[in-house]
Amino acid sequence: MSRSARFRELFQKPPFVCMGAHDAVTAMLAEQAGAPAIYVSGFAASAIVAGQPDVGLLTQTEMFEHIRRICRVTTVPVFADADTGYGGVLDCQRTVRLWEEAGASVLHLEDQAVPKKCGHFAGKQLVSKEEMQQKLRAMLDARSDPDFFIVARTDAIAVTGLDDAIERLEAYAAVGADGLYADAPESVDQMRELVRRLKPLGKPILFNMARSGKSPFLSLKEIHEIGFDYALCPIEPMFAMHKAVKEMMEIFMREGSTNAVADRLTPFEEFNRFVGLDRAVARERKYAE
């Protein structure tokens, strides 16, 4: 069974989380921890690949290579951010083909205007509902695997309000989007209203569990009780890495040693086992005999 087909199977037993991974190591850790799917965030990719904020600077091919590196080291389905599709309808078609080639099984396309911004930043602007519908139709036509899952995302809540966000998602569902996602609802009441009005469409509804954004922070169980089918935990692994590495480096520069953080460092041998040194040595030995 393909990874895309396996992703669709996850909806038979909701809720589930797509755990954020910002590089090959965190993707491997997510799978090892039991994550049923992995999420590749544009916010995280902008920081990791370019050292830049999520303001639409990363190119289509840079994101493609980033996704491909993650897909190579994992076996679970990979859900990869596609921002605005990187241009017009033909660019959107190229995006879905590249994401499939990279090994992803899912993407979300957002209705922001260029330059796009992280969904939890101020100053977002939207394209028309009709332009987004055109992009979605183009993407749906371009996918080669019918199980590849295309999520329509709207950023309208912060720009034009909740009613417009819901109307947009209804329009995106009408052209065949597989799933629906309104980013950055600002209260539990808004979350409940989204679910109440979108559930009759019969499309899985996604929630972004980013802990420090605009949305309420709830557990996976709590968001499922409201009516969401699955969730992203998109950037917390990167934030955990940033804090841990920052503290380690500051301590070393202050004390000239890692003694104070030794208990927080993975031993050399354990890390080598994690990245497969034993398997690599065994493969090499096979051809030397």
Ordered per-residue pLDDT tens for the chain, 289 residues: 999 999 999 999 999 999 999 999 999 999 999 999 999 999 999 999 999 998 889 999 999 999 999 999 999 999 999 999 999 999 999 999 999 999 999 999 999 998 786 767 777 899 999 999 999 999 999 999 999 999 999 999 999 999 999 999 999 999 999 999 999 999 999 999 999 999 999 999 999 999 877 899 999 999 999 999 999 999 999 999 999 999 999 999 999 999 999 999 999 999 999 999 999 999 999 998 7
Which residue out of 183, 208, 229, 233 is catalytically annotated? Answer: 208
Which residue out of 62, 91, 131, 186 is catalytically annotated? Answer: 186
* Catalytic-residue membership of 208: yes
CA distance 187 to 40: 25
Three-state DSSP at 256 gives coil
**Taking the model in full, what pTM does it have?**
0.95
* Catalytic-residue membership of 39: yes
Whole-Å CA distances, 153 to 133, 196, 260: 11, 17, 45
Whether cis (ω within 30° of 0) applies to the bond prior to 115 is: yes
pLDDT score for 123: 76
Closest alpha carbon to 74 in 135, 24, 111, 122: 24
Instruction: Supply the angle between the helices 129-142 and 162-174 in degrees, to the nearest 10.
Output: 30
* Catalytic-residue membership of 66: no
Which residue out of 18, 39, 111, 168 is catalytically annotated? Answer: 39
Domain boundaries 3-235, corresponding CATH code? 3.20.20.60
CA distance 78 to 9: 14
Which residue out of 3, 22, 66, 108 is catalytically annotated? Answer: 108
Matching residue, tokens 């303001």: 55
pLDDT score for 87: 95
Q: How many CB atoms lie within 10 A of CB 126?
A: 20
Element counts in the chain: helices (H) and strands (E): 12, 8
Closest alpha carbon to 234 in 276, 181, 287: 181
* Catalytic-residue membership of 62: no
Q: How many CB atoms lie within 10 A of CB 263?
A: 6
Matching residue, tokens 């190591």: 25
pLDDT score for 119: 61
CA distance 174 to 198: 12
The segment(s) of the chain belonging to CATH 3.20.20.60 are 3-235
Whole-Å CA distances, 32 to 26, 74, 275, 284: 10, 10, 12, 25
Which residue out of 31, 81, 147, 178 is catalytically annotated? Answer: 81
Q: Which two tokens stand for residue 129?
A: 């509902």
* Catalytic-residue membership of 92: no
Instruction: Supply the angle between the helices 89-102 and 60-72 in degrees, to the nearest 10.
Output: 20
